[in-house]
Amino acid sequence: MSLVVPLEEVFANKTGLLANHESWERIELGTICAILNGFPFKSNLFNKSKGFPVIRIRDIARSATETFYDGDFPPEYIVRKGELLIGMDGNFRCFEWQGCEAGLNQRVCKITADERILLRKFLLYGLNGYLKAIEDVTSSVTVGHLSSRDIQQIPFPLPSLAEQKRIVAKLEKVLEKVDACRTRLDKIPTLLKRFRQSVLAAACSGKLTADWRKKNPDIQPANTLIAVEKPTDDLPNGWTMCAFGEYVENHDGKRVPVSAIERQKRKGSFPYYGASGIIDSIDKFTHDGEFVLIGEDGANLLSRSTPIAFLTKGQIWVNNHAHVLRCRHGFPNAYLCAYINSIDLAPYVTGTAQPKLNQANMNTIPVPVPPLPEQQEIVRRVEELFALADRLEARYAKAKAQIDRLVPSILAKAFRGELVPQNPADEPASVLLAELTGTPNDRTISAQPSKGIGRRGRPPKS
């Protein structure tokens, strides 16, 4: 790791999360905190179930680990619930460990405040602003690295112990409400996904337009427009059933592999649609008009986490991982797109490591076919309901952004001394500092292993 600017300049800014009230002290964390660097566990003794759990850097945010160590290690490296851990690679963040007792692995450090003068929770609420400031001025070829020495040098704000308690109590109440709001918001994407899926299911089963059929009983049935007629006992009046291959024109013969296009001389830029529906830019096009594009392969064919069918218009080039389809008989392509996105494709997909929907299997998919005017009404209603979902999604994104900005704003207010009232009767932090002048300034604990401590697969003895 290397810093772009010295730490003194990093912390010269006393605004935002680095603020403090003018009556507070500042003290380097190394003076009042013990920092324990992680133990160098032997990776060949890691496993999934045997021994003692170990906290790796990827585990600290979720307070859970799936790594176990089948060997000996010193007892001082056991982390217990409520202790503060800092990730020292990548994103520098401090988290309160909420999991079971576990060993402290290297590139994670534990910071323990002297709670006679600095409350653990107060440290937790304030520390991440300083760690982020260090991260922002850290340059690295691959991943930024934080050292315990950098943490020691952080000039942390220090109000009186009584004021710390008031601030922590207030923050816990306010942030609890923020967390509850965030939890409710986090449910919205799932609810919107289910809403869209229910709309598609209702549309392609006839439920969405049941009222429309009552008002339009004399509409020409679908079996007069399509030559193939299948039993329709389970379908609404006027609907029929046909195989996918009878319903669409497949333009797969015009598909061109990526390598063939890349060899051609550049003659302009046209939209490109891949199997995921993501737009890019290439040199040629092979289709002109309105089409339905269906992803041919990928895990999404089974998981259906996102749509696989996309409606597109205009001049397009399509690679050889997407089916290019257009409805026969003047039926709207948008209805076909809605139907494909509403059904379970598992019976028609081959392979598991690389799921694939080939043309032969796709042609056997049964398609419920409403009369043409009802298809048009279905498309209209689906578009209307999806537009509503899009508006709700936009409001969700705006609300989420406001919540994300709210927490730093609350913390900044707390560390400016504005969240709770000042009390002149509080004993200043400087008094406690004077009483603790005999405490060593450097309390960083070296991560050198002790010998002969601990038992294989069990918590070491203290």
Report pLDDT digits (tens) over 271-289.
Answer: 445 555 544 444 444 556 7
Domain boundary, last residue among 325, 351, 370: 370
pLDDT grade for 339, boundaries at 50, 70 and 90: very high
In the chain, the number of structural domains is 3
Domain boundary, last residue among 326, 352, 370: 370
So what's the pLDDT on residue 245? 83
Domain housing 230: 220-370
Residues 201 and 334 in one domain: no
- For the chain, the average pLDDT equals 83
So what's the pLDDT on residue 243? 87
Q: What is the pLDDT of residues 371-400, one digit of tens each?
A: 999 999 999 999 999 999 999 999 999 999
Over range 10-16, report the average pLDDT.
82
Residues 306 and 445 in one domain: no
What residues are paired with 269 via a beta bridge? none
Residues 349 and 441 in one domain: no
- If you ran DSSP here, which 8-state letter would residue 105 be given? B
Q: Is 289 helix (H, G, I), strand (E, B) or coil?
A: strand
pLDDT grade for 435, boundaries at 50, 70 and 90: confident
Residues 88 and 192 in one domain: no
Over range 77-99, report the average pLDDT.
95
Residues 450 and 366 in one domain: no
What does pTM read for this prediction? 0.74
**Range name among 67-71, 200-204, 221-225 with the lowest pLDDT average:** 221-225
Buried b (16+ CB within 10 A) or exposed e, 338-349: bbbbbbebeebb
**Range name among 205-219, 287-301, 407-421, 442-456 with the lowest pLDDT average:** 442-456
Token pair listed for 420: 């709770």
Residues 1 and 45 in one domain: yes
Residues 26 and 51 in one domain: yes
* Model confidence at 228: pLDDT above 70: no
Domain boundary, last residue among 370, 389, 414: 370
Residues 4 and 153 in one domain: yes
Residues 232 and 208 in one domain: no
Q: What is the DSSP string of 24-56?
A: SEEEEHHHHEEEEEPB---GGGEESSSSEEEE-
Residues 177 and 286 in one domain: no
Please give the distance of CA 187 from its chain centroid, rounded to a whole number.
13
Residues 383 and 443 in one domain: no
CATH of the domain at 336: 3.90.220.20
Residues 359 and 458 in one domain: no
